[in-house]
């Protein structure tokens, strides 16, 4: 049973899904499209920082996408099938990648599933593709909209200001009443103040505080007091900085909420960098608010001051386990647009080419990887994690269970997390990790045994 336009129309949940899919038919949105037998797959740059991975079976009409949509098939799957039906020659034959095989292994074969919430309305690919008639702009309506937005922004600023002052008071109370007591009740106490911040529209700050207990409890017992002081200190610096410059986009992002991907791409002040990037690794965290955060760390392989970037996405835990958008070690030319910041780090992909087998070496690292950290901490003192590049060294174990990175010159950096045995027996030519002020969590390393990744 091959794939046809009428089959796609039949399986689409509704006409709006087809319309949404029509928006995704531009080839530029699909840096990867391939096939093997009846299977087709692709990567689609959606609204998230990481591209969505989409698979479809042209024989059995099953499909899978990593986007959080509850519609089945989603607009990305529909668009992929639509592109295939329109011009299958654009899907080159390729070896089936690991993420496609994984889906094959989990899939139950049988009759194709019915389209979710299939509506009785007529569904047509042709209609979906038809251009919408343009409505002429209404200056008065635009002005009203702008005034309302300005008022909303003012109200938000006022309520957030009050909430940050409450937060400073809360921090002082926790310190004065004893950090041991705080650590015993961190979940409950943080929840309460986070709720106050949510009410005041300081959503980003609320999420940061909500996640604080899990960050602290992940530390060894003897480090939690210092960890709590560091966290409170960063919060105090952040709230003060915001009150001094509430319109600063970086501070707004840290306190209220981040811009959308479209905002960043449309922002002329968002720095852009086209370079060759390597995927260092991924960190996936389940948050207390029911969202999963997926952070993909990239490293710029060319010379230049912008060494790292992080693609950050959030999706509901209910959408299930999502495979990574990239393979660690993968290299691709891309233009990234960075969220404006004093030390830009978070980015979105503006344009990406296919991955290549580039033999470029990792950039050179400074002899003391922590040498720059003090400078960075003055510029962005509230940052939770700072990516670092390490020069050649070895990993040493200190009983009972602590590990250290040691440079060939004897500089020592304490490490976080459990490391595989191989890490202790390998010679690290380069390494990259995330410094949290107390310890470094390794992400990847180039070793005498080749590339090594470190799971969180």
User: What residue ranges bind other proteins (CB under 8 A)?
Assistant: 36-39, 96, 98, 100-102, 104-105, 108-110, 165, 168-169, 171-172, 175-181, 225-226, 229-237, 240, 370, 373-374, 377, 381, 394-398, 402, 404, 406, 412, 414, 420-422, 424-427, 437-438, 448-450, 452
Query: Closest distance between other proteins and the C-beta of residue 2, in Å?
Result: 16
- Nearby residues of 65 by Cβ (< 8 Å), 6 or more positions away: 52, 53, 54, 55, 73, 74, 76, 77
DSSP, residue by residue, 7-72: HHHHHSS-HHHHHHHHTT--GGG-SEEEEETTEEEEEE--SSSSPEEEEEETTT--EEE-S---SS
Query: Closest distance between other proteins and the C-beta of residue 32, in Å?
Result: 17
Query: Closest distance between other proteins and the C-beta of residue 416, in Å?
Result: 12
Query: Closest distance between other proteins and the C-beta of residue 196, in Å?
Result: 16
Nearest-angstrom CA–CA distance, 447 and 454: 13
Query: Closest distance between other proteins and the C-beta of residue 140, in Å?
Result: 45
Backbone phi, psi, residue 300, to 5°: -80, 120
**Which residue, 10 or 373, has its beta carbon nearer to other proteins?**
373
Nearest-angstrom CA–CA distance, 13 and 25: 18
**Which residue, 191 or 406, has its beta carbon nearer to other proteins?**
406
Query: Closest distance between other proteins and the C-beta of residue 397, in Å?
Result: 7
Query: Closest distance between other proteins and the C-beta of residue 399, in Å?
Result: 9
Instruction: Give, as one character, the DSSP assignment of residue 415.
Output: B
Q: Are strands 331-338 and 386-390 parallel, antiparallel or unpaired?
A: unpaired
**Which residue, 140 or 176, has its beta carbon nearer to other proteins?**
176
**Which residue, 91 or 338, has its beta carbon nearer to other proteins?**
91
**Which residue, 68 or 281, has its beta carbon nearer to other proteins?**
281
Nearest-angstrom CA–CA distance, 7 and 157: 51
DSSP, residue by residue, 135-192: PPP-HHHHHHHHHHHHHHHHHHHHHHHHHHHHHHHHHHHHHHH-HHHHHHTHHHHHHH
**Which residue, 108 or 140, has its beta carbon nearer to other proteins?**
108
**Which residue, 320 or 371, has its beta carbon nearer to other proteins?**
371
């Amino acid at each position: 049973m091959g794939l046809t336009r009428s089959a796609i129309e039949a399986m689409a949940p509704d006409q709006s899904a087809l319309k949404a899919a029509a928006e995704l038919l531009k080839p530029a949105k699909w840096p990867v499209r391939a096939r093997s037998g009846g299977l087709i797959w692709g990567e689609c740059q959606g609204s998230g920082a990481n591209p969505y991975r989409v698979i479809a079976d042209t024989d059995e009409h099953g499909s899978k996408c990593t986007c959080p949509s509850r519609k089945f098939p989603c607009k990305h799957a529909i668009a992929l099938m639509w592109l295939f039906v329109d011009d299958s020659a654009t899907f080159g034959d390729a070896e089936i990648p690991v993420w496609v095989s994984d889906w094959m292994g989990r899939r139950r074969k049988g009759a194709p599933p019915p389209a979710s919430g299939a509506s009785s309305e007529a569904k047509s690919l042709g209609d979906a593709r038809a251009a919408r008639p343009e409505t002429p702009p209404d200056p008065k309506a635009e002005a009203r909209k702008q005034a309302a937005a300005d008022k909303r922004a003012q109200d938000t600023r006022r309520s957030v200001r009050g909430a940050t002052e409450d937060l400073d008071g809360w921090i002082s109370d926790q310190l004065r009443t004893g950090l041991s007591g705080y650590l015993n009740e961190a979940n409950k106490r943080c929840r309460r103040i986070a709720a106050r911040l949510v009410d005041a529209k300081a959503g980003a700050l609320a999420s940061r505080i909500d996640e604080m207990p899990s960050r602290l409890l992940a530390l060894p017992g003897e480090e939690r007091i210092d960890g709590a002081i560091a966290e409170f200190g960063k919060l105090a610096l952040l709230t003060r900085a915001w009150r001094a410059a509430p319109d600063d986009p970086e501070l707004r992002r840290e306190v209220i909420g981040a811009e959308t991907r479209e905002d960043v791409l449309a922002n002329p002040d968002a720095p852009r960098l086209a370079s060759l990037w390597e995927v260092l690794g991924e960190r996936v965290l389940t948050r207390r608010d029911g969202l999963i955060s997926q952070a993909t760390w990239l490293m710029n392989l060319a010379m230049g001051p912008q060494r790292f970037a992080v693609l950050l996405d959030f999706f509901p835990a209910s959408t299930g386990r999502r495979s990574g958008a990239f393979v660690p070690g993968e290299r691709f030319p891309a233009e990234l647009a960075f969220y404006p910041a004093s030390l830009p780090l978070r980015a979105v992909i503006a344009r990406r080419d296919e991955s290549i087998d580039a033999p470029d070496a990792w950039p050179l690292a400074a002899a003391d990887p922590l040498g720059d950290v003090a400078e960075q901490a003055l510029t962005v003192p509230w940052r939770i994690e700072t990516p670092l590049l390490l020069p050649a060294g070895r990993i040493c174990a200190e009983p009972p269970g602590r590990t250290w990175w040691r440079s060939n010159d004897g500089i020592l950096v304490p490490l976080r997390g459990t490391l595989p045995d191989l890490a202790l027996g390998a010679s690290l030519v380069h390494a990259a990790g995330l410094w949290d002020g107390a310890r470094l969590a390794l992400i990847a390393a180039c070793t005498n045994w080749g590339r090594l990744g470190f799971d969180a």
